[in-house]
Amino acid sequence: MAKILYNKQILPAYYQLGIRWENLPTIEPGQFVMLRLTKYIDPLLRRPFGVYKILGQGARGKGQGIEILYKVLGKGTRLMTNLKPDDEVDILGPLGNSFSAHSGKTNVIIVAGGIGIVPFYLLAKRFKKVRLLFGGRSKDDLPGLDDFKKLKIDIEVSTDDGSRGKKGLVTEIIAKQLSGNSLIYACGPQGMLKEVARIADKTGIPCYVSLDKAMACGIGACLGCAIKVKGQGPWVKSQENKSAIRNPQSAIYKMVCKDGPIFDAREIVWEEI
Amino acid sequence: MAKILYNKQILPAYYQLGIRWENLPTIEPGQFVMLRLTKYIDPLLRRPFGVYKILGQGARGKGQGIEILYKVLGKGTRLMTNLKPDDEVDILGPLGNSFSAHSGKTNVIIVAGGIGIVPFYLLAKRFKKVRLLFGGRSKDDLPGLDDFKKLKIDIEVSTDDGSRGKKGLVTEIIAKQLSGNSLIYACGPQGMLKEVARIADKTGIPCYVSLDKAMACGIGACLGCAIKVKGQGPWVKSQENKSAIRNPQSAIYKMVCKDGPIFDAREIVWEEI
Amino acid sequence: MGRDIKKSEVIPLPPPVEKGGRGDLTLDLSVNIAGIELKNPVMTASGTFGYGEEYAPYIDLNRLGALVVKGLSLQPKQGNPPPRIVETAAGMLNSIGLQNIGAGVFIEKKLPFLRKFDTKVIVNFFGDSIDEYCEVAKILDSVDGIAGLEMNISCPNKEEGWLEFGTNPDLTFRVVNAVRKSTRLPLIVKLSPNITDITIIAKAAEDAGADALSLINTLSGMAVDVNTRRPKLGNVIGGLSGPAIKPVALKMVWQVFKSVKLPLIGIGGIMTAEDAIEFMIVGASAVQVGTANFVDPQASIKILDGIEDYFERNEVKNVKDMVGNLRV
Amino acid sequence: MGRDIKKSEVIPLPPPVEKGGRGDLTLDLSVNIAGIELKNPVMTASGTFGYGEEYAPYIDLNRLGALVVKGLSLQPKQGNPPPRIVETAAGMLNSIGLQNIGAGVFIEKKLPFLRKFDTKVIVNFFGDSIDEYCEVAKILDSVDGIAGLEMNISCPNKEEGWLEFGTNPDLTFRVVNAVRKSTRLPLIVKLSPNITDITIIAKAAEDAGADALSLINTLSGMAVDVNTRRPKLGNVIGGLSGPAIKPVALKMVWQVFKSVKLPLIGIGGIMTAEDAIEFMIVGASAVQVGTANFVDPQASIKILDGIEDYFERNEVKNVKDMVGNLRV
Ligand SMILES: Cc1cc2nc3c(=O)[nH]c(=O)nc-3n(C[C@H](O)[C@H](O)[C@H](O)COP(=O)(O)OP(=O)(O)OC[C@H]3O[C@@H](n4cnc5c(N)ncnc54)[C@H](O)[C@@H]3O)c2cc1C
Ligand SMILES: Cc1cc2nc3c(=O)[nH]c(=O)nc-3n(C[C@H](O)[C@H](O)[C@H](O)COP(=O)(O)OP(=O)(O)OC[C@H]3O[C@@H](n4cnc5c(N)ncnc54)[C@H](O)[C@@H]3O)c2cc1C
Ligand SMILES: Cc1cc2nc3c(=O)[nH]c(=O)nc-3n(C[C@H](O)[C@H](O)[C@H](O)COP(=O)(O)O)c2cc1C
Ligand SMILES: Cc1cc2nc3c(=O)[nH]c(=O)nc-3n(C[C@H](O)[C@H](O)[C@H](O)COP(=O)(O)O)c2cc1C
Ligand code: FES
Ligand code: FES
């Protein structure tokens, strides 16, 4: 059991939850934890949350822990809003894979939609130079923006309603950012990811996406969080366009919790997501 | 929805819960309410609690409400210990019947075991003279004793372990209190009630008991809180002893929530309680 | 000596806040089931709403599409020994044992009160033989103020070794057919979920002349007290209801929707408007709210309000458009 | 270019606090089921514990009485399209669709790891024809490190119009009998609860030569998203598990206990030691923990600890004394 340090509402629907975690294990950017929110049976299952920040990093001992950035969506996250300092939660993790690095790709672009910002705080800190394209429905859907500003990285913001940054979808501002040297990391709503993957595919730019699927076990045991990925044959460069293809016949299911949550965008059968 | 005013631990396993209740209806001694403890579905059903005190009685307006005195037993009552001022609970009530008065009976004896004390605070205040026999396992099972002391009524205390008052069962101190003019009201564990009923029956003294049965609706609709009562034929004085009897063949079920929780002890088929 | 226990009047909760303007809307929630014209698809389930009068202090009965009373038999029934209820995970078990006042007393003592309301009264009933079913149906047929009958066929048949009527298609056909001939009232048959293939029973009931089907009744279950090692129910086995059973109920309604033409009434774990709408989407033309009444006496009204909101938000014009429109 | 996604090592939770002195106690929790000598009656249920290795970082597999691996078929199976799971009230629906790596790959890739533990490995398996069942049984029969087989008969039979084996006593008899002849391993038959009378299937399995029965598998259910009006599962229908189904499971174990002589393994919604003991009281000689593993990876161990405590507190000498000792 881990103690809550703080639970701070930062925007109408978003909270930052500090959790003390003794003997904090190594956590890689993009990894997540499964939180058990109650001793009662409603909600029954754990809920997955990315690790947004590591608290007291470097300084061993006191203050170690993690910060979760969460959006209030349903039963579980509503329950989380009641957590207060010294309450306890049960953490399982860290779980899942991390982002792949690509040597030589210097134009690193992060595309985040709303709560999809979570995996990128730890990731952005790993790069000397990185550009964040951050979209939200409105200015109230850009959680953590201030944290990223402090990292002094390039940020472009867009909102559907124009209440902050460019008006429009974040995917509309990707194209002009791309170069032969680009590498995209993306996380956000499925529609956004699909579009980012399409753009990356068309331009032949490597792209990694972090996916969100309902989970039960979080450790690859229940086979619940399946997504369809293309078969395991070798990648082939398509003749018509720059996209890499695999034989779709040999498509198989991978588990978001164990094989992911981060996948090469080209691997995914987007039609069946 | 009603606001919590306070939730005070008075003994290791006992709490007093103040609930604000606007436009408080008339509540008779012995009546109870059904509390819905969560918006989640665990625990699913409401829980019945007697009304221990009426807050701000007489003074209309501010401060109106009730006080619940509860014992932490299981899931629901454990959840109640988390309630804090300004939290809200859903109250249904007041429900059930009240105690019958008997003109001419001047030696009123209340027999309470542990949390069975609840219905008697409001009742005791109705009498000029009343004697309380209060038993508990130990001194930690005599909730509300201080409140009754302030009423300046006669009190005799017993505990199973002798940690306060007489050592032994409360039922052992009843006999010497009885006179032709006695009237007994009792509430507590089933074993205690059975014994009180037996004593009353043997001595022909009127006795009313407040019963505890698991409830779902609390209003007589589900027929879940049944207890067996003797048939509806006229009372007959048994020849052998002083007990009144009815034809046991015509036994029927009554509902604790609606026909009770208070019953004439002679009415109940104690063997099948 | 005051031997009779004095009843304190039960003081009602404050009435529900008036929903302003509902009447002005063109929203039409009416639905015709089995020939019964309901002003909306929300009913209360048998056994969870007493004879209606128990809930009158807490909700406006006039708002309900219909109310279904506690199951009646020819003679009053005492029911099972206590304990009769126990809470389980997201549900409850009951072994009331069909305690009821009998059809005759119901007509005399309870129906007059219900006639005062602008709400359809559906009478749930049962028997332990085909004859008893028919007799009850006949008695109820002749009186005013009953909009329809709901046959509970989850009852053991004493003539066939206490085999439940509703678990055998042949028995189902025979009892429904016999009742069909005994009454002109709209006839709803209530199905048991304790069955391998509910569609077989549904078809038997359809063939036998049922006008509608309601489902599901409770799932068979039990619970044990590990300290006393006794069953938690006096009757050992009871019926499981509440949110726990909703997935099972939805699946059965969907299956039956695909296999019979009769209108369906969805029952099982409905706590919210969303739950009710799930049932409509899988094929229910109306719903019954059961265990939820215990948790919140106003549950049925809140569910109705929520359905109205959903219809407005999603521009659903009438109930028919929702029924069975699952996108598979 | 680093096309392969780099796996970060999964760092285990702190190991469970050592229970001091357990070894010194004379408490004997061992139980023999179907000829399999278990050191205690707590197993993990098929499909909820992967192939064992997934949970190895989180619990001491050596403490388990047995572990039951994900159901295997002759060939690897892809399983159903997502979404495959959805939470329900006190439960979850799954439509994994029996995805598995196939019996052959299991033996080659997974079994060697499991052999390292002092825990009985029970292999759950299935087929879509009697022949496939037998073939899988034969393959598993010949290898070291498998203590017993658990047949999942809640599977459609392609030769009989996709009727489920486990819902028809004749089919049950035939498939169990055929498998019985294909393997010398102890044979547990796992029963489906989606049935009118589970005792009939239980008897068929007993007659066909099963050594033990495990029950229950999941209840059939579904869920609907009211916004999209789509089923919440890719496969529309799935299996309900978790605390919600415990009352149903208990009742079925009790029924079966009274009608067959075989040892029973109780399954369904076991979250705590109390739940497990309830199953023993109604007749289970051992239990399987399923959905609870997801909620708490250490659930099975905590349940085992709790059973030990209960036995000590109540001076129960061995498992046999608890089995079926319901006081009715
Ligand atoms: C690997 C991973 C990392 C995640 N990291 C974060 C994070 O850092 N911060 C954060 O706020 N959220 C994160 N999520 C999503 C988060 O898990 C869900 O929002 C949460 O489980 C919803 O729980 P709930 O009980 O509030 O909602 P529920 O009551 O379960 O559902 C409410 C609504 O949300 C939908 N929903 C349910 N589960 C999900 C889901 N997994 N994704 C999308 N919609 C869902 C339901 O269909 C329903 O409409 C992550 C998910 C995954 C898989
Ligand atoms: C009319 C009436 C008035 C009551 N007034 C009070 C009161 O003023 N103060 C108070 O503390 N309690 C009162 N009770 C008892 C109270 O309702 C129960 O203690 C409570 O419902 C237990 O809920 P739980 O969720 O904590 O326990 P559960 O988790 O439901 O059960 C825990 C344990 O208690 C047992 N149990 C469950 N329900 C009851 C019950 N009704 N009676 C006895 N044991 C039970 C269970 O079998 C289990 O062993 C009253 C009961 C009735 C019927
Ligand atoms: C306490 C109780 C009593 C019931 N009595 C009856 C009855 O008399 N006749 C009947 O057909 N169904 C009866 N039922 C079943 C309900 O009508 C309903 O089918 C079932 O509870 C499932 O719905 P729910 O989950 O919304 O409660 C009863 C249910 C409960 C909980
Ligand atoms: C995700 C999941 C996968 C399952 N897979 C299998 C399986 O492959 N074979 C099988 O016999 N049972 C399978 N089951 C059923 C469980 O073994 C168990 O019978 C059921 O879940 C009830 O137990 P529980 O309530 O403790 O989960 C599965 C259950 C779940 C939840
Ligand atoms: S959540 Fe269980 S396999 Fe991914
Ligand atoms: S609790 Fe429903 S009748 Fe008493």
- Please report the DSSP string for A232-271 in residue order: SSPPEE-SSSS-EE--GGG-EEEETTTT-SEEEGGGB-GG
**pTM for this predicted structure:** 0.93
Ligand nearest to the CA of B224: 6
Residue burial C77-107, b: 16+ Cβ < 10 Å; e: rest:
bebbbbbbbbbbbbbbbbbbbbbbbbbeebb
Confidence band (pLDDT; 50, 70, 90) for B232?
A: low
Residue burial A25-51, b: 16+ Cβ < 10 Å; e: rest:
eebbbbbbbbbbbbebbbbbbbbbbbb
With an 8 Å Cβ cutoff, is C143 touching chain A?
A: no
Closest CA to D107 of D121, D117, D97, D93: D121
With an 8 Å Cβ cutoff, is A92 touching chain D?
A: yes
Q: What does the pLDDT profile of chain C (328 residues) look like in tens digits?
A: 333 333 333 333 334 334 444 444 578 999 999 999 999 999 999 999 999 999 999 999 999 999 999 999 999 999 999 999 999 999 999 999 999 999 999 999 999 999 999 999 999 999 999 999 999 999 999 899 999 999 999 988 888 888 899 999 999 999 999 999 999 999 999 999 999 999 999 999 999 999 999 999 999 999 999 999 999 999 999 999 999 999 999 999 999 999 999 999 999 999 999 999 999 999 999 999 999 999 999 999 999 999 999 999 999 999 999 999 999 9
For residue B49, the cross-strand partners are B33
Residue D168 Cα, gap to closest chain B Cα (Å): 36
β-strand pairing of D219-222 with D148-152: unpaired
The pLDDT assigned to C1 comes to 33
The reply to whether residue A206 touches residue D47, judged by beta carbons under 8 angstroms, is: no
The pLDDT assigned to A245 comes to 52
The pLDDT assigned to A236 comes to 54
Closest CA to D84 of D229, D225, D231, D235: D235
Quote the tokens at residue A232: 């395991």
Residue B68 Cα, gap to closest chain C Cα (Å): 18
The pLDDT assigned to B214 comes to 97
Q: pLDDT, tens digit, for every residue of B157-170? A: 999 999 999 999 99
Percent of chain D with pLDDT over 90: 88
| Domains in chain B, CATH or no CATH each | 2-95 (2.40.30.10), 107-272 (3.40.50.80)
β-strand pairing of D284-289 with D264-267: parallel
The verdict on whether D155 is a catalytic residue reads yes
Reply yes or no on whether the pLDDT at B175 is more than 90: no
Chain C hits for D250, Cβ within 8 Å: 221-224
B271 CB neighbour count, 10 Å cutoff: 8
Atom of ligand 1 nearest to the CA of A261: 1
Confidence band (pLDDT; 50, 70, 90) for B128?
A: confident
Name the residue among D90, D229, D248 with its Cβ closest to that of C219: D248
Picking from B42, B79, B83 by the largest number of A CB atoms within 10 A of its own CB, the best residue to mutate is B42
Q: pLDDT, tens digit, for every residue of D89-130? A: 999 999 999 999 999 999 999 999 999 999 999 999 999 999
> Cα D252 to chain center, whole Å?
16
Across the B:D interface, residue pairs with CB atoms under 8 Å apart total: 3
CB-based burial label for D166 (10 Å; 0-12, 13-18, 19+): buried
Chain D hits for C167, Cβ within 8 Å: 196-197
A 249-268: CB under 8 A from D: 252-253, 259-260, 262-264
Ligand nearest to the CA of D82: 5
Average pLDDT of the residues of chain B? 90
Using alpha carbons, list the distances in angstroms from residue B24 to B57, B59, B63, B126, B219.
9, 11, 10, 19, 19
Quote the tokens at residue D165: 């084996």
The pLDDT assigned to A102 comes to 76
The reply to whether residue A263 touches residue D296, judged by beta carbons under 8 angstroms, is: no
The pLDDT assigned to C25 comes to 53
Closest CA to B19 of B92, B109, B73: B92
The pLDDT assigned to A244 comes to 54
The pLDDT assigned to C6 comes to 35
With an 8 Å Cβ cutoff, is D88 touching chain B?
A: no
Q: Which region, left, alpha or beta, applies to residue D58 given φ > 0 means left and ψ of -120 to 50 means alpha?
A: alpha
Q: What does the pLDDT profile of chain A (273 residues) look like in tens digits?
A: 899 999 999 999 999 999 999 889 999 999 999 999 999 999 999 999 999 999 986 544 445 999 999 999 999 999 999 999 999 999 999 999 999 877 778 889 999 999 999 999 999 998 888 999 999 999 999 999 999 999 999 999 999 999 999 999 998 889 888 888 999 999 999 999 999 999 999 999 999 999 999 999 999 999 999 999 987 655 555 555 555 555 555 679 999 999 999 999 999 999 988
Using alpha carbons, list the distances in angstroms from residue B254 to B214, B222, C124, C186, C238.
14, 12, 22, 33, 20
Task: Give B218 Cα–ligand 6 centroid separation in angstroms.
Answer: 5
The pLDDT assigned to D124 comes to 98
Transcribe chain B into DSSP letters: -EEEEEEEEEETTEEEEEEE-TTPPP--TT-EEEEE--SSSSS-S-EEEE--EEET-SS-STT-EEEEEEE--SHHHHHHTT--TT-EEEEEEEES--PPP-TT--EEEEEEEGGGGTTHHHHHTT-SS-EEEEEESSGGG-TTHHHHHHTT-EEEEEETTSSSSEES-GGGGTGGG--TTEEEEEES-HHHHHHHHHHHHHHT--EEEE-----SSSSSSS--SEEEE--SSPPEE-SSSS-EE--GGG-EEEETTTT-SEEEGGGB-GGG-
Beta strands in chain C, from DSSP E residues, in sequence order: 31-33, 36-38, 42-44, 66-72, 85-88, 91-94, 120-125, 148-152, 156-157, 163-164, 187-190, 212-215, 219-222, 224-225, 230-231, 237-241, 264-267, 284-289
The pLDDT assigned to C105 comes to 95
* Domain definitions of chain C by residue range: 22-321
- Determine which one of D29, D103, D155, D210 is catalytic: D155
Q: Which CATH class for the C22-321 domain?
A: alpha beta
Reply yes or no on whether the pLDDT at D8 is more than 50: no
Quote the tokens at residue A217: 């076990």
B86 CB neighbour count, 10 Å cutoff: 9
Element of type H or E holding D180: helix D169-182
Q: What are phi and psi of A70, to 5 degrees?
A: -130, 155
The residue-averaged pLDDT of D267-285 equals 98
β-strand pairing of A226-229 with D163-164: unpaired
Reply yes or no on whether the pLDDT at D18 is more than 70: no
Instruction: Reduce the DSSP state of residue D175 to 3 states and report it.
Output: helix
Closest CA to C294 of C67, C12, C55, C102: C55
With an 8 Å Cβ cutoff, is C89 touching chain B?
A: yes
Chain D hits for A206, Cβ within 8 Å: 1
The pLDDT assigned to D12 comes to 37
Quote the tokens at residue D252: 């079925």
Reply yes or no on whether the pLDDT at D212 is more than 60: yes
What is the DSSP code (8-state) at residue C162?
T
Please give the Cα distance from C6 to B99 (Å, whole number): 7
